[in-house]
Amino acid sequence: MAAPDFWVKPPEAQKTVQRLKALRRIVEPWKACDHKARELTDLIELVQENDEDALHDIKRDTDKLLAEVEMLEFQQLLSDPLDSHDAIVSINAGAGGTESCDWVEMLLRMYLRWTERRDYKASIVDILAGEEAGVKNVTFMVQGPYAYGYLRAECGVHRLVRISPFDANKRRHTSFASVDAIPSVEEEAEIEIKEADLKIDTYRAGGAGGQHVNKTDSAVRILHIPTGVVAQCQNERSQFQNKQTALKILKARLYKKKREEEDAELKKKYGEKKEIAWGSQIRSYVFHPYTLVKDHRTAYETSNGTDIMDGDLDKFIEAYLKQAAKGK
């Protein structure tokens, strides 16, 4: 990067910069932990046995270091080249009308809380409100280290069982929503999109409030004619910005489609591979007559449904990734 001609070819230079960032995300945390370990080792040699305050501080710092090292060791499970990428997440309501739309909104809140816990950045790209309440479908982007690696563990159908707040007779209802996550791919993805293959429509953005909303055709929907893949965006004020974001999502979805086709070929040659699709229920959230959240893939469960809906998902994600790693 220090070479005088490094930026002569910007696309290639950008790939190198992205690669450097990815490598730094792996190396620098380990270097930091190694430095802390050396500091603690030196400190232990200096502390007197009867200095309880110093020993307490050392234990606290050691426990913190152990937790950081365990997290770094866990990240080794995220070995796919795309795991370190940002994620594009979509949630869609299943059968159940208003109930399912409300469930989508609950899941959206759960994942946004999860991103806050991890200091990730989340931004809603496209959202369609339900006819009476809740959200029919929503797409949002999550930016942060290994965002896709973690969120791919959430792909599948999520089932909710509860007493419906929309039922005057207070009966128990079951609702379904599907969650899908794809990696946000940059220039390194070998996906060629021809302008002639695109059908681009503009429409007025939906949503609450603002002088701009519902007054200009700023929202953009793009159809890739050869594959039928669609991407849309309405969260930006500018039609140009919405188009760029929609193109980014379209590229990511086409890249995922390409990988799925490659996986299908490998499946024919080397055996079965379980696919995540609508109908493959992965987790149940039961809030009546008892409280239990259970992942059907790993059998991991908890009765603390409140914390789960507040974004405490790491144990579920870790259990799935560890099981997936054993199955490789």
Percentage of the chain with pLDDT > 90?
A: 48
Which pLDDT band, with edges at 50, 70 and 90, does 210 fall under? very low
Residue 80 counted as domain residue? no
The pLDDT value recorded for residue 48 is 79
Mean pLDDT of 163-186: 87
Give the tokens for residue 38: 């050396």
- % of residues, the chain, pLDDT over 70: 90
The count of domains in the chain is 3
Residue 144 falls inside a structural domain: yes
Answer yes or no: do 201 and 180 share one domain.
Answer: no
**What is the tens place of the pLDDT at every residue in 229-280?**
999 998 877 888 899 899 889 988 888 888 888 777 655 544 443 443 345 6
Instruction: Give the pLDDT score at 286.
Output: 95
Confidence of residue 186 (pLDDT cuts 50, 70, 90): low
Instruction: Say if 81 falls within a structural domain.
Output: no
Residue 37 lies in a domain: yes
CATH number at residue 204: 3.30.160.20
pLDDT band at 206 (very low <50, low <70, confident <90, very high): low
pLDDT of residue 256: 84
Structure tokens at 204: 């007025």
Same-domain pairing of 169 and 310: yes
CB 255 within 8 A of CB 185: yes
Rounded distance between C-alpha atoms, residue 141 and residue 322, angstroms: 25
Q: What is the rounded average pLDDT for all residues in the chain?
A: 85
In sequence order, the 6+-apart residues with CB closer than 8 A to the CB of 184 are: 85, 86, 87, 88, 141, 143, 148, 248, 252
Q: Which of 46-50, 108-112, 185-189, 287-291 has the lowest mean pLDDT?
A: 185-189
Q: Element (H or E) spanning 87, and its range?
A: strand 87-93
Q: With a cut of 60, say whether residue 36 has pLDDT above it.
A: yes
Domain that holds residue 216: 195-270
pLDDT single digits (tens) 118-130: 999 999 999 998 8
Q: Which of 80, 128, 120 is nearest to 232 (CA)?
A: 128
**218 & 247 share domain:** yes
**Radius of gyration over every alpha carbon of the chain, rounded to an integer in angstroms:** 23
